[in-house]
A and B are shown apart, each in its own frame.
Chain A
Amino acid sequence: MIDHPGSSATRIGAIVMRHVYILRRSWPRLLELAYWPTLQMIMWGFMTLYLAQHSDFFVRTAGMLIAAVLLWDVLFRGQLGVTISFLEEMWSRNLGHIFVSPLRPIEFVASLTVMSILRTVIGVVPAAILAIFLYDYSIFAMGLPLLAFFTNLLVMGWAIGLMICGILLRWGQGAESMAWLVVFLVAPFSGIYYPLSVFPEWLQMIAWLLPSAHVFEGMRAVLIDGAFRWDLFGIAAGLNVIYLGLGALVFFHYFRVARERGLILQQGE
């Protein structure tokens, strides 16, 4: 008779292993993770080369567009890492088994975030390395600020991802397209490729509510002025605490609704 339910870390590791088992056997899945970030990086890299021929600004800020596209993909992949891992459980009709095991919902969420880190690293790092060879631009030269940007964007991706997972729990696979669409709602207002000053004032006020807007402004400050803006970093981190709290709130709310309405056993059908 087994009397030890195991540790929280073991249970989180179990769910991570479940996804690693799939990834390590499926090269199309691995390729898909790196495909779009690499393709985007190549396009924006050539765009940078072209613009640099006609503008001193782009000569001085070489790599700004490449950095922007790679950091955007951190946010996008961070969110997809959470939602795709969740969708894998829905597609395989496995949620019933998972939620009658000793795995707690908070541990399940933790395992989704670990998978998000893994999927983001697998997706973005090859593109970043390729940029060094193709365009002689290394995003890693940013140093510690890169870590700050990476972390903030990843956490924002988790927050959006958790909200989508909650919605998927409540409305099922009919809401699946949200996994790919929602994050693009924030893209125009995040100032990925342009400063927020191009917006009218009222839109700037909305944009400043997004952690991503602070990150991309901070990125430009590093690349153009060579200065790390602690104020932008601090506000982005503070907003992310709120966003992550909201994401968790939405997920746990709909988890409770799913348990009340008997939705967990119906998922995937």
Chain B
Amino acid sequence: MSRPIDRNAPGIDVHNLVKRYGDVLAVDGVSFSIMPGTTAALLGANGAGKTTTIAIILGLLVPSSGTVSVLGVDILANRYRVLPRMNFASPYVDLPRRLTVRENLDVYARLYGVPRRRERIEELSEELEVAEFLSRATGSLSAGQRTRVALAKALLNEPDVLLLDEPTASLDPDTGDRIRTYIEQYQAERSTTILLASHNMAEVERLCRHVMMMRSGRVVDAGSPDDLLTRYGREDLEQVFLDVVRTPDEAAA
């Protein structure tokens, strides 16, 4: 019989992760640990290795070396033990466009073994304000509406660990703010461990207690938003971000 999932173990624990594609080193010795109930961010320029790291944590991608455990379970050896306790949303992965929102949520509720599917879908639809277009084809929705639907899908199983890859990308400020408020409240109520990859620094400052800055596949700095601001002598995370992602020559120019 397999050990039960340890909800006191780090939500996500990554140790010396390496991912190599031929000569290209996409992730180069990344290590970090996110305590349960914490929201952390992975920041970095395009191609820094954020999405690759998230894909490895989800088990979609096999690392060249290193270990990843989620809730104390080795994701590389036992991913199906912990996948029911995780979920994920990304603008780079779609839900079937011809299915209605309700049908999509129903399919994923079945996949995650959600009890009382109908009630759960209704509940999330109300909370995320998607109830009015439950019967519409998912492909006919606006970007903001689709983002809310993707988030509803990610929360169907009330995950202990939630991975969000740019959850508010391409949203208008109002919708983006609503999503951030919802994530903030949801995390506070349920103590979900959240790993967020984002280019929106204001979002990161607002939601995250811990920030990891990536450059060229490495975590080059980490700390709380306040720590980073102090360390770099900057007023906001955007400036810190630019300091970190730019090479010294670029920064001087």
Chain A residues with CB under 8 Å of chain B are 1-2, 4-7, 10-11, 13-15, 17-18, 21-22, 25-26, 88-89, 92-94, 96-104, 256, 259-262, 264-265, 268
Instruction: Kindly identify which residue among B21, B59, B96, B111 contacts A14, using a CB–CB cutoff of 8 Å.
Output: B111
- A94 partner, pick from B94, B103, B158, beta carbons under 8 A: B94
Q: Which residue of B lies closest to A94 (CB)?
A: B96
Report which of A11, A14, A265 forms a contact with B93, defined as CB distance below 8 A. A265
Contacts A17-B110, A100-B58; is A5 near B99 (CB within 8 Å)? no
Total contacting residues, chain B, CB less than 8 A: 40
The answer to whether A97 and B55 touch across the interface, beta carbons within 8 angstroms, is no
Chain B contacts to A: CB under 8 angstroms:
21, 51-52, 55, 58-62, 80, 83-84, 86-88, 90, 92-100, 103, 106-108, 110-115, 153, 157-158, 160, 190
> Which of A4, A92, A97, A264 lies in contact with B88, CB distance below 8 A?
A97
Q: Are A2 and B59 in contact (CB under 8 A)?
A: no
Whether A21 and B103, one on each chain, are in contact in the complex, defined by CB atoms closer than 8 angstroms, is yes
Q: Which residues of A contact B84 (CB under 8 A)?
A: 2, 5-6, 102
Q: A1-B158, A6-B113, A102-B112 are in contact. Are A265 and B62 (CB under 8 A)?
A: no
Closest to A7 in B: B113
Which listed residue, A1, A21, A98, A264, touches B99 by the CB 8 Å rule?
A: A21
What CA separation (Å) do A4 and B111 show in the bound complex? Answer: 11
CB <8 Å contact, B113 and A4: yes
Q: List 10 A-B contacts (CB under 8 A).
A: A2-B158, A14-B110, A18-B103, A21-B103, A92-B95, A100-B59, A102-B83, A262-B60, A264-B60, A265-B51
Residue among B21, B87, B98, B114 having the largest count of chain A Cβ atoms under 10 Å:
B98
Contact B106 A93 (CB under 8 A): no
Given A1-B158, A2-B158, A99-B60, decide whether A94 and B93 contact each other with a Cβ distance below 8 A: yes
